[in-house]
Amino acid sequence: MAAVLRRAMAACSPRPDGAWLTLLLVLFAAVWLPHLAHSSLVPPTDNIEQLTWVRSLEWGYYKHPPLPTWVLWLPVQAMGLSGATTYVLGAMFALAAMGVLWRFLAALRGPVHATIAVLAALCITYYNGRLYYYNHEVVLMPFAVASAALTWKAFCTRQSRWWLALGVCLGLGGLAKYHIAVMALAIIVFWGWQRGWRDTSHRRGLLLAMVTALALVSPHLYWLWHNGLGPIRYAMESSLGLDLQGTSRWSGSTRWLGDQLLNRALPAWLFLLLALWAFKRAARPAPAHQPAAVVLDAGMSRSLLLCFGATPLVFTCALGLFVGADLQLHWGAPFLLLAVPAAMELGRWRRSWSAISLKSALKAFGLVQLLLLLWGQMISANGEVRWQRHHWRNFDAQGLADAVAPAARIELGGPIRVVAGPPAEAGALALRLPEQPLVLLHGRFDISPWVDKKLADECGVLELSRAAAADVGYRSVGDNFPGLHWRVIAPASISARCTGQPNVTH
């Protein structure tokens, strides 16, 4: 990490540009991705989920919209069905969001201010310790940031093309995850704050954006209707519809907000405090006037940053307080980076960020990143300390494959073509088998359209079960996998496709 920082500081200029930031982001990924890959015995469950779904391109899946799976399809064809493919793709989306954030803030507050904000955002644990995650929140990130940038362009230029682009952004975001609705709410809040109803171009522009977004998501909405609203039902059953009561609402909302601001974002606040401390110590006066790169309407831009930084946090807490939703901690991942520039607009130091020395900021950034890497090593599956031993990263998928696959092949009379069971364990096992078997989620064909029932009947199924005690016909995997059991559903008859090449992704 020290060598990386020396390279970045050597390239440091008083006014960093896009190439400088790109180099910084590439170096950041070059440090974190190998560390994270080495720290885990198995890909994150969300990555495994996408590698399972990518076996069949659909207009929707039983839990989520389709865009992340569509995007993954081409890299899988080029790089193979592996965790590494998702690591690279997840990092690309996260860092692309950082790049969009930098360009947006550079136009509003200047390149130095933008760089300080991006460095702080990179300290949020969503975007370093989870850099290798590939899921719907990660794919939503660039669209969340772009929605703020395009809203600004639409208001400033009053041109329909920017409202159209905003609608495309929201539509694609809706195909990534329904949480894009939070950004749509932030747009409406800002539109109302600026009294957009008084301006004909803003009224028409907002309508154009809404119609465009709906047009883009309409095929998925059609699929949703004809598939029993599966993702909506999943959301209601898992979180939104739980209707928590009494103090559970207050405690859940407080816990969620505290986790976002005082846990996930805590390293970012530490970095900003260190940067301010270095600025005060150097006794450099704050700029008397705003740099030329900064927009003239600082008041409106400040309102925009506060709207997009605060609305997701306030709205999510409101879901917990007034709806009784069980707030999931990871819901903040697509939006929390926008809380950084919003926080930088608060307090008497808000005009000082552009005067901070980039070399001092990089030193503070390096210190925070070293602390985060040290923590990552302490919880690593391959570290000496191995705190959080029960975390999913410690699941030995290769050990599971070694324990069950040889006997399963004998009972099946050939290769393993279908693995059924809990999505995480079954998916992790499938990735470790050379046959690249298809995964039958929870043993259900209705939510696993990539599995042909005829294939399962002809080739048989290796089925996993997680339970306190083994059901009839199941065998315990072993002491290293407590509560995990397996059995083989024998094939009705062996066909040629059961003994041919491994399953391919179509």
C-alpha span between 340 and 331 (Å, rounded): 17
* 220 phi and psi angles, rounded to 5 deg: -70, -40
Instruction: For 28-50, give the DSSP string.
Output: HHHHHHHHHHHH-SS--HHHHHH
Question: How far is the C-alpha of 131 from the C-alpha of 120, rounded, in Å?
Answer: 15
Name the one residue in this structure whose structure tokens are 């894009």.
180
For the stretch 498-503, contacts whose Cβ atoms lie closer than 8 Å and that sit 24 or more positions apart, written own/partner, are: 498/414, 498/415, 498/417, 498/458, 498/459, 498/460, 499/414, 499/415, 502/415, 502/434, 502/435, 502/436, 503/55, 503/417, 503/435, 503/436, 503/437, 503/438
Q: pLDDT at position 292, please?
A: 44
Q: Are 36 and 206 in contact (CB under 8 A)?
A: no
Q: Block means of pLDDT (10 residues each) for the chain, length 506 residues?
A: 54 69 96 96 97 97 97 96 97 98 96 96 97 98 98 95 98 97 97 92 96 98 94 91 89 96 97 91 56 63 96 97 94 97 91 89 96 92 72 94 95 94 97 96 96 93 90 90 94 73 60
Question: How crowded is the C-beta side of 159, counted as CA atoms within 13 Å?
Answer: 8
pLDDT for the residue 293: 47
Tokens for 363, please give them.
């030193």
Residue with tokens 């505290």: 258
| Inter-helix orientation angle 67-79/45-53, to 10° | 80
What is the signed CA dihedral for 210, 211, 217, 223, rounded to 10 degrees?
120
CA distances from residue 435 to 164, 497, 498 in whole angstroms, order as listed: 46, 12, 10
Handedness of CA 322, 197, 145, 184 (dihedral sign): positive
- Please give the order of strands across the beta sheet that includes 475-476: 438-441, 418-421, 461-466, 484-489, 475-476
**pLDDT confidence of residue 505:** 60
Which tokens go with 353? 């960020």
pTM score of the predicted model: 0.92
At position 232, the amino acid (one-letter code) is: I
109: nearest Cα among 357, 343, 293: 293
In whole angstroms, what is the distance from residue 10 CA to residue 159 CA? 41
Instruction: Reduce the secondary structure of 189-234 to three states and give it as a string.
Output: HHHHHCCHHHCHHHHHHHHHHHHHHHHHHHHHHHHHHHCCCHHHHH
> Token pair 């930084």 is at which residue?
309
